[in-house]
Chain A
């Protein structure tokens, strides 16, 4: 490489970065950058945009003579539906700790996996669960109850 440097430089005092080296380096970095960005773009693929899960809303008829404070669990659903004289409400039975299905007990709920206990209103009373069991949105439709597992409501919300 021949360059006409204004001040003569020796091997021990070279140009900081020779021009041709700069071009070479920048094209290398450009290639690296292009591959990296291409890869990052491709990594969008595993993040599903549409979730292949069944509808979160379901309609069910609850038994006429369901005693107050006793849970009705629709078959195949992780929801406990209650009815008392103030109205109907639904509590999710998916443990907020690690997703096991909690079982209703007279005094509340208990989780078989790591021993979390919840009060009847979903509050954590014991164990590792970090949050209370969420209350789910309920609407009445004649004799049927529609529960939306995807929408939480403040605890205590009852529908009459």
Chain B
């Protein structure tokens, strides 16, 4: 008797069945842990997805409170994403060559379908990004989020601030109109301003960092086609890459440093709120417990404490983030509908704009530059950046971390710093505007003295001394940090307002643009 062999499968049949299964298999291979419909599958979905896994699977309730972050970090990212998408759209038409650049922007503005809206969105999202980044920095500072173990991430944040400003500034040249041309001329000469010192010392011939910086920035000895190519390269390629890399590190670090900063008694504070007890911590038993690789440094890992007061990131955190994204988009859209991005006449290298003003967030610096190019443009900003970067390494206290202004004693201190921080620049500016400065009093004064003693350096010194005095007065390094940062914000605000609203033709002080001389 011959054994009955199993019937060989019909290969064609199998092929057809496989073909039919392709959509299902495609879905299954893309989302290996099944549709994210339960807490467990949502968790596996989050840590199985390369983009989502920058988030932890569960988020502490404290992080989701409105007052913890105000969504400012996500708002910065959202503005960046809007600028990224609209920027790529603009690249379809933009030509980075003098005159052609101006014509192409005109085309985008007047001819290209939706071109004006896209350009407005790009411009407004860039502005919103600068504002959001500065406010986000203030939030991180005033909740002391820079402290251990987040010191390094504070430095990453300062790097992101610098790259954000760099992106805005390089974008300012691209339309090649009068506004752009003269702002870049001023910017490039600020890069050259170390010559103010090397010239005064008579060593420019041998040691000329200023000239090198300008040459590298412009690729030539004047603002022309070479400069436009370089600014374009920086704006669409180099700086976005640096920004993306820094952003990756910044977000990764948030997670590795234990999520959002929160006060030591956050759980106790949350327990007082009624409705939050209703959401079950786990809707099903965890399929996976922490193993060694899941342990991170910091005090916020949940090992040994259970996941109290955390909720699944998906959907709670993601909805919050999407909400902020939509809000940012709405704000950009509304602003774009009511206010067009400016475009002045074609760049004319022989007739400067009068007044020639940089983008608003640089007008504070321009105000300082109007006393000394080197100190206002390079010296003081460098001191400010180093000062901000040192804060987490000098303030190593732990009390009040995660609390706005560090708890009850903080606000009066900040209020006092606000008064000092606002009065000091107003006073110094008043003297400089009313009575002039050293050169008018002593026409033969050496340039080095003007570089060393001017409103920019005096203001920096006043702020530094005030911070040191605060450390002594309150016997707390944190007090000094609060004073320093508050002063920095106040100085930025006052100088920006003076530069924006009170400076007219020839950088003369006017109470309002209505008083500007007619010509």
Contacts and interface: CB of A to CB of B under 8 A. Distances in A.
Interface string B349-390: 111111110000000001001111100000000000000000
B506 A98 contact: no
Interface stretch (B64-72, B129-137, B185-193): B185-193
Interface in A45-65: 46-48, 51-53
B350 A78 contact: yes
Given A98-B369, A112-B505, A115-B508, A130 B450 contact: yes
Interface string B334-357: 000000000000000111111110
A113 B450 CA distance: 19
Contacts of B189: 97-99
A100 B447 contact: no
A124 B372 CA distance: 14
A48 B220 CA distance: 7
Contact of B356 (A52, A100, A110, A128): A100
A131 interface: yes
B443 interface: yes
B447 A131 contact: yes
Given A47-B212, A125-B443, A126-B440, A113 B220 contact: no
B350 A76 contact: yes
B224 A52 contact: yes
A111 interface: yes
A52 B439 contact: no
Contact of A46 (B185, B216, B371, B372): B216
B226 interface: yes
Contact of A128 (B225, B350, B373): B373
A19 B224 CA distance: 57
A111 B356 CA distance: 11
B369 to A, nearest CB: 7
Interface size class of B (residues with CB under 8 A): 35 or more
Contacts of A46: 216, 219, 230
B221 interface: yes
Interface string B204-221: 000000001001100111
Contacts of B182: 100, 113
A95 B230 CA distance: 24
Contacts of B356: 100, 112-113
A101 interface: yes
Interface in B206-254: 212, 215-216, 219-222, 224-226, 230
A87 interface: no
Nearest to A124: B439
Contact of A100 (B199, B219, B352, B439): B352
A130 B447 contact: yes
Nearest to B217: A46
B34 interface: no
Contacts of B188: 99
Nearest to A48: B219
Given A101-B350, A110-B506, A114-B507, A128 B222 contact: no
Given A53-B220, A99-B189, A114-B369, A47 B352 contact: no
B200 interface: yes
Contact of A115 (B190, B216, B370): B370
Contacts of A112: 352-356, 505-507
Contact of A48 (B215, B373, B451): B215
A127 interface: yes
Given A112-B506, A126-B436, A128-B373, A99 B443 contact: no
B506 A130 contact: no
Contact of A52 (B196, B225, B507): B225
Contact of A99 (B186, B200, B226, B355): B186
Contacts of B352: 100-101, 112-113
A98 to B, nearest CB: 4
Contacts of B212: 47
B373 A98 contact: yes
B439 A127 contact: yes
**Which residue, A53, A99, A110, A115, has most C-beta atoms of chain B within 10 A?**
A99
- Residue in A98, A115, A127 with the greatest tally of chain B CB atoms within 10 Å: A98
Nearest to A110: B506
A135 to B, nearest CB: 16
A53 B222 contact: yes
A51 B221 contact: yes
A131 B216 contact: no
Interface in A105-160: 110-115, 124-128, 130-131
B372 A128 contact: yes
Given A48-B219, A48-B220, A130 B199 contact: yes
Nearest to A43: B216
B31 to A, nearest CB: 40
Nearest to B351: A101
Nearest to A113: B356
Nearest to B443: A125
A56 to B, nearest CB: 9
A121 to B, nearest CB: 13
A113 B185 CA distance: 11
B199 A52 contact: no
A64 to B, nearest CB: 24
Contacts of B221: 51, 53
Nearest first, the 7 closest Cβ-Cβ pairs linking A and B are A112-B354, A114-B370, A98-B189, A99-B189, A115-B507, A100-B352, A130-B196
Given A98-B190, A112-B507, 18 more contacts: A46-B219, A47-B216, A97-B189, A98-B186, A99-B189, A100-B186, A101-B349, A110-B506, A113-B507, A114-B366, A114-B369, A114-B370, A114-B507, A124-B439, A126-B440, A128-B373, A128-B450, A130-B372
11 contacts: A46-B230, A47-B215, A98-B189, A112-B355, A112-B505, A114-B369, A114-B507, A125-B439, A130-B199, A130-B200, A130-B373
